[in-house]
Amino acid sequence: MPNADTHRRGPAGADEQASPKVLVVEDEKVLADGIARGLDKEGFDVEVVHDGLAGLARGRSEDFDAIVLDIMLPGMNGYRICRNLREEGVTTPILMLTAKSGEYDEAEALDTGADDFLSKPFSFVVLVARLHALLRRSADGMAQPMVVGDLVLDPLPRTCRRGDVQIDLTTREYELLEALMRHPGVTVSKQELLEKVWGADFDGDPNVVEVYIGYLRRKIDRPFEHRDIETVRGVGYRMGVPYDRSAG
């Protein structure tokens, strides 16, 4: 199939033609620039940061479809960044650049929650191929329905149901619920929700989050006598883990 279309359908609502966004965390500037230029030519939308703390901060934003992460970095090393992101519920695919081809490095990279690794020096063609593979796997994962108890949020038709009951959500409500259901049991701060659902440049009243949480509760929880959306006082909100409910 010479014309095989390598573009896969992303999550519903995503523009199929949109460039995949890749964060490159690499302190060797010449290498970082080389990677950025190369990926840009391949149609990726690339952002580069040169130190670990910036890498962690940008990774947390979940603005990216994939992260290329060096290990030895000023500020915070790649293992710690990866572990922190995973502990915070960030599932963005991570390709780690290991300095040596020792098995120890690779095992540790995977152990911290990286999805793949590449030993330096690497061929650019291989980097691109690995990134495409990660993005394909991720798109398949993102397309899977999110399930918390009998509440199901399905990204492809972008529908919500509780048991057999279909629930109509507005776009904002859907995105807010998705932000919570992607990581059940993980507290998501109001600030993160604002950035994910209303955008990083939103400068309106941050209480809009509470207002919309209220709308959601009236649709997905109250009519069914559930309390799945939990308020974590002073922090944000969390989707309850299902086994809590069946117990009580």
Residue with smaller CB distance to Ca ion, 118 or 181: 118
Q: How far is the CB of 121 from Ca ion (least distance, A)?
A: 13
CA dist., res. 145 & res. 147, Å (int) = 6
Residue 152 interacts with Ca ion (CB under 5 A)? no
CA 131 from centroid of its chain's CA atoms: 15
Residue with smaller CB distance to Ca ion, 72 or 128: 72
Helices (H), 27-170: 29-41, 52-60, 78-87, 103-111, 124-142
Q: How far is the CB of 28 from Ca ion (least distance, A)?
A: 5
Count CB atoms within 10 A of the CB of residue 150.
15
Residue with smaller CB distance to Ca ion, 29 or 41: 29
The DSSP secondary-structure symbol of 224 reads: G
Q: How far is the CB of 35 from Ca ion (least distance, A)?
A: 12
63 sits in which H/E element: none
Residue type, 33: D
Residue 72 interacts with Ca ion (CB under 5 A)? yes
Site for Ca ion in 22-41 (CB under 5 A): 27
Q: How far is the CB of 186 from Ca ion (least distance, A)?
A: 30
CA dist., res. 8 & res. 161, Å (int) = 26
Stretch that binds Ca ion, among 4-12, 21-29, 171-179, 203-211 (CB under 5 A): 21-29
Number of residues that bind Ca ion (CB under 5 A): 3
Q: Quick one: CA dihedral 123, 126, 132, 137, positive or negative? A: negative
Angle between helices 171-181 and 208-216 (to 10 degrees): 90
Stretch that binds Ca ion, among 2-10, 71-79, 158-166, 175-183 (CB under 5 A): 71-79
Q: How far is the CB of 96 from Ca ion (least distance, A)?
A: 11
Residues within the interface to Ca ion (CB under 5 A): 27, 70, 72
